[in-house]
Structures are given as C-alpha cells and as structure tokens.
Amino acid sequence: MAKNSQVIEREEVVIRFSGDSGDGMQLTGTLFSDTAALFGNDLSTFPDYPAEIRAPQGTVGGVSGFQVHLGHSEINTPGDYSDVLVAMNPAAVKANVKWVKPGGTIIFDKDNFTDKNIEKAGYKSDPVVEEKLDNYNVIAAPISSMVKEALKDIGLDPKSILRTKNMFALGMVYWLFDRRLKYTEQYFDKKFAKKPEIAEANKIALRAGYYYAETIEALNPVIKIEPAQIAKGTYRNICGNIATAWGLLAAAEKAGLKLFIGSYPITPATGILEEMAARKDLGVKSFQAEDEIAGICTALGASFSGNLAVTSTSGPGLALKSEAIGLAVMAELPIVIVNVQRGGPSTGLPTKTEQSDLMQALYGRSGECPVVVIAASTPSDCFHFAYEAAKIALEHMTPVLLLTDGYLANGSEPWKIPKMKDLPEIKPPFADKTKIPFLPYARDCETLVRSWAIPGTPGLEHRIGGLEKTLKGTVSYIPENHEQMVKLRADKVAKVADKIPDLTVYGEESGDLLLVGWGGSRGYLMTAVRELQAEGYKVSLANFNYINPFPKNVNEVFRKFKKIVVAELNLGQFADYLRMKYQEFNYEQVNKVQGLPFTIKEIKEKCIKILEGK
C-alpha cells in the first residue's frame, strides 16, 4: 500500500465515528483505537450512545457515536472538537456537525442521504447546504453502493453485505491517518474464525474503503501522528468498567480471598458484572440478583462468610441499596459498592455521564452512617482505586463506596500493565482463634477496627446485625452506649485518613487560581490547566480521589492560592461539601449538567473570567 500523497505530522487528532445505533460505530471506533494504541499513540476514547437499543432508524435520537483522541504527546481527554467526522446518515450529521472543527473533514455515506432520511433527520433540504458545510472538507462517498459492488461475488445476502459499510468507512479513515490494516484484519480472522465468509467480506470492505480514499485523495496532505513518548513497559487498552473489575480481582488475589459479586444489571455499570461473570477462571462467584437490594444483601452475606464482597450499580440502584449499606455500617463488614454515575435523578439520562451522586454517596442513608468514599479519575485508574477501595474495606472493616461514571466506565485509554508483586499488601484483620470468647465489636485501639471471624471457625461463634450493640456484641438500648458506638464508627472511618496519600497539585504549589475537581473530570481539567499555564496564567489543579475522609493536607494546599474554583458535572455538590468541611475558603464554581463531559474551552473561558474578576 504505497502512498503518493504528501504527509504532514500533527501532535494530535480527534476523530468521531457516528451513525445509526445499528451501524456498528462502537466497534468501528474500538478497532481504530486499538490500531492507534498498537502503533504507540497515546489516546483516550469516549463512546456516546442512546439509551434505546434500536431507536427509530435515521433519527437524531438514534445516533450512536464513538470519539477517539490520539496523539504524539500525553492525551487526557477524548477531545472537544473533532478533526474528522464520519457520519453514516443525515441524522449523524445533524447530531455531530457542531462538534467538528472549522475546516475539518466530514465523511458521509451519500447513498444514505435519501429524501426520506434527510427529512427524518429534521432537514428540509440538502444538509450540506443547510449546515453551510462549504468551509469543510466534505467527502460524500457512495459507501453503500460501493460495498455492494465490492462484495457482489462473495455470496452473502444483501443485508449482511450492507453491514460491512462501517468497515469501508474505517478503511477510509485508516488511509487518512496513514494506518495499517493488519490489526483489524487479524481481528476479523479471529472473531469470525467459524464464518470465514463474514471475515472475508469485512476485510474486502475495509480494503475497498482504504483504496477508495487513496484514489480520490480524500485528504491532502495525509496526517501522520508519531507514536507518543510513553514510559517503557507492557501496555493494553482498558475501559473503566473492566479496570474496576480487575482492580477488585487483583485485591481479592492479594488478600487471599475469594471474590463474590452480587449485582443487578443497570446501565452503565453492567459491564462490571459481565466481566466478573466471565472470570470463573479466577474463581469469581457472580450472583445476578433479583434486584438491587438482593445484590448488596447477597454480597453482605458473602462478606459475613469471609469473601471479598462487591456490588456494582448506578445512581438509582445505589438508592435501593441504601438500607443495606446502613446494615454494613452497623455490622462493620467489608464491602465495596461501585456506583457508576449517570445522569439523574430517576431514570434520567441512563447512558450519559454526570457527577451528581456525590451527596447520595456521602449522606444518602438513615442515621449517622459514614462510609469511605473514593472516586476514580481516568478509565485506567479505576483499577488502582478499585484496588484501594477493596484494601480499605478489608483492612478497616467498612463499606467503601467507589464512584466512577459513565464516561470513565465506557471510555478507554492505553494502560501500563502492573505486576501483581508490585501491588501493596492487603491484610484483613482476621480474628485470633485463640481468643475465646470472640467479642465482635472489640476494637484495635489504634485504628478502631473490629476483627473478622469467619463462620466455620471453631470457637468464634458470634452474632452481628443491625440492632445497636455493646462492644461485647449484646443488643443494647442504653442511650450512652448508642452515642459511643455512633462516635466510634465515625472515628473509625475518619482514621482511614492516616492511610491515604496527600492531595497533590498539578502545577505550581501557589498561584492565582486553584482549579479543584474530583473523580472523572480530571482529564479535562488537567488539559485546561496545562493550556492556561502555557498561556501564562498562574493556575494549578487539585483533583480529589479521596473524598471521605479527605486527605490531611487540604487546607495546606488551598491556602496558597488566591482563588479556588470547583469544577464538577452537577450543580455544585462538591463545592458545597468543601464549604462545609473547609469553611475558611471562598469557592467559585464551574458546573455543567448536560450528561456530557466538560469541554476544555468552557473550563478555560470560565477560569479566565474569574481570574480577570469579571
């Protein structure tokens, strides 16, 4: 595949694949990302799909997208605006054109731009005219008819032939960015080993698209992005949900425990349960419960039995689990509750991302009911924070709520694979078999942690439960005892602060403005801060992962900045939480509640405004 076109090098590029939800855009995007990762680019991806499995064909509501941001340097976000948009139908143009950079390339399937489809997308006439696309590099390729032609002799039915349209488009994009087809071809050989005709059809469509782009010189010059300078090591692409599952599995192995997950399917958390169900090879017991409540209750039973217990859910499911989290707090049993946040309240925007479950995670229970709350900040660091969540739960005999979000769960990035031997030890406080009788609520005087006696151990028979107890484990209604136990449980969680790392600052340790974020928006905030710093602003970033308890140095970090701006995808929950915990500072806010991540542009604009005192 010799190239005659000119080639220019770019630092980074953003590509968005979009089409009907049945057009296979998620797969197309994933294959492109894998190829880029294997080539050595740093990258970040973001799938954006509708809640309906098959929304009405051809409508804007049914458009499914997958954005990839790849670069020669460090990539922290899937990117705001795309350089190339692949739009398989008019609705995909309608939904995405506002996200294309001026002068960018738009590839669409001309055959799909029928009057009917144009009307369904909400256009009155030719979208190219209506959207005033003359300033863009529009490539109206007859994709459907070309795959039909390319595959006419292969002996497949017309429907199966048309299903390869996405590969034709992918072939075109590979040419635009000077990529090799090898990895994708291997993927099809493996995936359709038992249906070689399907593998062949996809490969033919892929090559046809590549040659077509070459023939028409779809982009001149071709863009080349050199591999990124990344640390030596073995890498893989990983999405947040898989990273979460693997972090928990790694913790179980390190602690020498079996892993039990009790969960109920819910978007966008289901991927965790699915991965766990597939991990029978590592002895996982995955229990698809009859509802969210049974999910956590079976997990609590398994925790009582001595397993690393996990339940995974999303916002509304967390609400259903509240009472059982209270039981876990009272029983002082270890459990990790993963909440993959989505747009709420209620069913809300189930496939979109948001950070609006913070208050629910911190306070959404009856009584004085503290739990450890941790938030992951990139798809791959879900592994680390899931591992940490399990370590804290097991070593401190407490429920730990791990917050991720839809954007982290489905987004992916290259990840340097850790070695098990390098991960920290996990040592649950198992009860001493020689100390009989076992007193379930007797505590370590340093950490206030009770010990864990596993059913089946002779001599350690004991009872725990939701009723208030004395330290000996006897049910008690004595007022002073209740207050003492409430305080002990709170202190136990607060003492976790002794074990967590300090808050770190990205950039100078003092300056005009500290941008504060938590969890999953780190990539956007970091990129915005980096750009602001390059423009000469004295701006730094502090992104929180440990939310309850806080790291010990928060005040120390905050007081060195003139202004503190809290950016989050809700109406200001973290800002309010900070106002409560660190009243000595004034907090300004950047908020967005659209089911979408921030754009770097909007963060920068807001920061500059605040810096300029407007």
Partner 1 sequence: MAEQQTIQYTQKDFKSDQEVRWCPGCGDHAVLNAVQRALPELGIPKEKFAFISGIGCSSRFPYYMDTYGFHGIHGRAAAVASGVKTANPELSVWDITGDGDALAIGGNHFIHAIRRNIDINIILFNNEIYGLTKGQYSPTSGKGLVTKTSPFGTVEEPFSVGELVIGAKGKFFARTVDSNIALSIQIYIEAAKHKGTSVVEVLQNCVIFNDGIHDVVTGKEVRDDRTIILKHGEPMKFGKENNMGLVLDGLKLKVVTIGENGIAEKNLLVHDASEPNPGIQYMLANMRYPEYPVALGVIRSVAGNTYEADVQEQIKSVQKDSKIKCMDDLLLSGSIWKVE
Chain residues binding partner 1 by CB under 8 A are 34, 37-38, 40, 230-237, 246, 249-250, 253, 258, 260, 262, 279-285, 287, 289-291, 293-294, 297-307, 309, 323-324, 326-327, 331, 417-420, 455-467, 474-475
Q: How far is the CB of 282 from partner 1 (least distance, A)?
A: 7
Cβ nearer to partner 1, comparing 161 with 325: 325
Q: Are 355 and 406 in contact (CB under 8 A)?
A: no
**Burial grade of 455 (CB within 10 A; 0-12, 13-18, 19 or more):** exposed
Q: Specify the length of the chain in residues.
A: 614
Q: Are 289 and 281 in contact (CB under 8 A)?
A: no
Q: How far is the CB of 41 from partner 1 (least distance, A)?
A: 11
Q: How far is the CB of 364 from partner 1 (least distance, A)?
A: 16
Half-sphere exposure of 422 (CA within 13 A, CB side): 5
Q: How far is the CB of 387 from partner 1 (least distance, A)?
A: 11
Compute the distance between CA of residue 356 and CA of residue 364 in angstroms, rounded to an integer.
Answer: 12
Q: Are strands 308-313 and 412-416 parallel, antiparallel or unpaired?
A: unpaired
Element (H, E) at 516: strand 511-518
Compute the distance between CA of residue 515 and CA of residue 203 in angstroms, rounded to an integer.
Answer: 47
Compute the distance between CA of residue 287 and CA of residue 378 in angstroms, rounded to an integer.
Answer: 27
Cβ nearer to partner 1, comparing 152 with 236: 236
Cβ nearer to partner 1, comparing 468 with 588: 468
Q: Are strands 12-20 and 82-87 parallel, antiparallel or unpaired?
A: parallel
Cβ nearer to partner 1, comparing 235 with 598: 235
Cβ nearer to partner 1, comparing 92 with 238: 238
**Burial grade of 57 (CB within 10 A; 0-12, 13-18, 19 or more):** middle
Cβ nearer to partner 1, comparing 21 with 30: 30
Q: Which two tokens stand for residue 592?
A: 């967005």
Q: How far is the CB of 459 from partner 1 (least distance, A)?
A: 7
Q: Which two tokens stand for residue 547?
A: 């939310």
Radius of gyration of the chain (CA): 26
Q: How far is the CB of 456 from partner 1 (least distance, A)?
A: 6
Cβ nearer to partner 1, comparing 253 with 444: 253
Residue 197 CB coordination number (10 Å): 13
Angle value at C-alpha 288, between 286 and 289, nearest 5 degrees: 125
Contacts of 446 (CB under 8 A, 6+ apart): none
User: Which DSSP state fits 67?
Assistant: E
Cβ nearer to partner 1, comparing 455 with 501: 455
Q: Are strands 259-263 and 308-313 parallel, antiparallel or unpaired?
A: parallel
Cβ nearer to partner 1, comparing 42 with 395: 42
Angle between helix 292-304 and 315-331 (nearest 10): 30
Q: How far is the CB of 612 from partner 1 (least distance, A)?
A: 42
SS3 at position 134: helix
Q: How far is the CB of 371 from partner 1 (least distance, A)?
A: 16
Cβ nearer to partner 1, comparing 316 with 507: 316
Closest CA to 352 of 14, 34, 64: 64
Cβ nearer to partner 1, comparing 30 with 589: 30
Q: Are 377 and 522 in contact (CB under 8 A)?
A: yes
Q: Are 125 and 156 in contact (CB under 8 A)?
A: no
Q: How far is the CB of 159 from partner 1 (least distance, A)?
A: 30
Residue 136 CB coordination number (10 Å): 18
Q: How far is the CB of 38 from partner 1 (least distance, A)?
A: 5
User: Which DSSP state fits 424?
Assistant: P
Q: How far is the CB of 483 from partner 1 (least distance, A)?
A: 21
Q: Are 82 and 15 in contact (CB under 8 A)?
A: yes
Cβ nearer to partner 1, comparing 62 with 306: 306
Q: How far is the CB of 480 from partner 1 (least distance, A)?
A: 21
